[in-house]
Amino acid sequence: MGAIQLRNVKKKFGSDVVIENLNLDIADGSFTVLVGPSGCGKSTTLRMITGLDEPTSGDIFIDDHKINDLTPGKRDIAMVFQNYALYPTMTVRENIEFGLENKKVPKEERKKRVSEICEIVGLTEYLDRKPSTLSGGQRQRVALARAMVKQPKVFLMDEPLSNLDAKLRGQMRVELISLHKKLGTTFVYVTHDQVEAMSMADDIVLMKDGYIVQQSNPRELYNNPNCIYAAQFIGTPQMNVVDNILPQGMKLGFRPEKMYLQEIPEEHILIRADIVTKEMLGAETIYSLDSRYGRLTAKSEHEAEDEKMLSLSVPFSAMYLFDQEGKRIPMEENHRQMIREKFTEQGV
């Protein structure tokens, strides 16, 4: 079992408050990703779970057992770092076995565990090689195997793929998802990359300035963001937000892929815009646009016939409404009528 709870956790470095009253629940067996920009507190949160940093106040639990006073080695966790932290003078086998030797695990048991883990992560043929002879992806597998062989309750990973190239990152994401399914153990993963978060997690914790903005599964976070920050952090390109047309400081949001280059059967508004740039991305094209509502972005599988201007349909079903503080508010019929009138007044 590996359920984690943080209760009223605060972390200060001197007078600088990095985490303020954090309450977080991580389900046993979940693949939970902490995501957000640099400085949002995600790595500090992970380090407090590991025991590398102590909370200034508040409590941390694993399976309902308070672990504040336990050293990292007694928390039944395993950490995978960004820089792999392998011993260069040791072979792959020795790197993986090292933690088991320190725990006085018998030799035959060590051999059995190393063999099983290396089969899972595809390292069997590299056991007698030194880390310097391995690729970045292979070294990352060694770091994972070293963590897995301990058979911990929880795996903690701090941006473990950031040193890999784009193609290898994609491959390793698939391998980590597969690995999680095989092990069924709790994974807690830190990244600033929303693609990693959306593709790997079954639970995403979006953070900003030391607090949780929204916690939900990827589909829910994408389809039902609770504020502009969440709406624009998740999704590439980010959501369009029009903030210069509605009263009371309200803002209207819609995603680039919901701006259609053709008329659609459902109720919609029309926006005409000049094409600034056009990016061909294989099956899709991304348009950067100038409109009377500001700079907008559209993403479509269709290519525009007119190279200078687009007439775009945005359905009401794809619109998001936010108040002046950026919080999501329900789209009521009076809001829909107001949007119809405002866009009609402005012209398309």
pLDDT in tens, 245-274: 899 999 999 999 999 998 889 999 999 999
Question: With bands split at pLDDT 50, 70 and 90, how would you rate the model's confidence at 345?
Answer: low
CATH code reported for the domain at 237-346: 2.40.50.140
Question: With bands split at pLDDT 50, 70 and 90, how would you rate the model's confidence at 85?
Answer: confident
Q: What is the percentage of the chain residues whose pLDDT exceeds 70? A: 99
Provide the phi-psi class of 294: left if phi over 0, else alpha when psi is between -120 and 50, else beta.
left
140/253: higher pLDDT:
253
Angle at 239 between CA 234 and CA 242, to 5 degrees: 145
pLDDT in tens, 22-68: 999 999 999 999 999 999 999 999 999 999 999 999 999 999 999 99
Exposure b/e, 204-236, CB count within 10 A at least 16 = b: bbbbbebebbbbbebeebbeebbbbbbbbbbbe
Q: Residue 167's pLDDT is what?
A: 84
Q: Residue 346's pLDDT is what?
A: 55
Same CATH fold, 237-346 and 4-228?
Answer: no
pLDDT in tens, 175-225: 889 889 988 999 999 999 999 999 999 999 999 999 999 999 999 999 999
174/30: higher pLDDT:
30
Q: Residue 204's pLDDT is what?
A: 98
Q: Does domain 4-228 have CATH number 3.40.50.300?
A: yes
| Residues in contact with 309: Cβ distance below 8 Å, sequence separation at least 6, in sequence order | 272, 273, 274, 275
Cα(273)–Cα(156) distance, integer angstroms: 46
Q: Residue 347's pLDDT is what?
A: 53
| SS3 state at 281 | strand
Q: Residue 161's pLDDT is what?
A: 85
Sign of CA dihedral 166, 200, 50, 90: negative
CB 136 within 8 A of CB 161: no
pLDDT at 325 over 90: yes
Helix (H) or strand (E) holding 343: helix 333-346
Q: Residue 20's pLDDT is what?
A: 92
Cα(306)–Cα(323) distance, integer angstroms: 36
Mean pLDDT of 321-331: 96
Cα(167)–Cα(190) distance, integer angstroms: 20
Mean pLDDT of 137-158: 89
pTM of the model: 0.90
Going from N- to C-terminal start, the domains of the chain cover 4-228, 237-346
